[in-house]
Amino acid sequence: MPRGDKSAYTDKQKRQAEHIEESELEQGRSREDAERIAWATVNKQDGGGKKSGSGRTTAAKQATKKTASKTATRSKKKKTAKKTSRS
């Protein structure tokens, strides 16, 4: 698939990009910039084009996993620090 090919997007994603592009044009942006902003926004919201298969996580779930991982790492560091300070 060549770079910039939009065939990997769902109809809904294409409609969203079109709507965002129209909005950007109304705000005075060039067609090229409006299209770039529209597709960047769709990618940010949905994480790119069509994805299939089980085990795929959404961007929101991925963010939650990162937060949980950071919290777990912090608590481990605190426990380790407490153990070494008692010695």
| Confidence at residue 33, expressed as pLDDT on a 0 to 100 scale | 96
Global pTM? 0.56
| Confidence at residue 13, expressed as pLDDT on a 0 to 100 scale | 92
| Confidence at residue 23, expressed as pLDDT on a 0 to 100 scale | 97
| Confidence at residue 86, expressed as pLDDT on a 0 to 100 scale | 65
| Confidence at residue 74, expressed as pLDDT on a 0 to 100 scale | 75
Q: How far is CA 50 from the centre of its chain?
A: 13
String of b and e for 62-82 (b: at least 16 CB within 10 Å)? Answer: eeeeeeeeeeeeeeeeeeeee
* Average pLDDT by stretches of 10, the chain with 87 residues: 80 94 97 96 85 67 71 72 65
List CB contacts of 46: < 8 A, sequence separation 6 or more: 13, 59
| Confidence at residue 5, expressed as pLDDT on a 0 to 100 scale | 80
| Confidence at residue 21, expressed as pLDDT on a 0 to 100 scale | 97
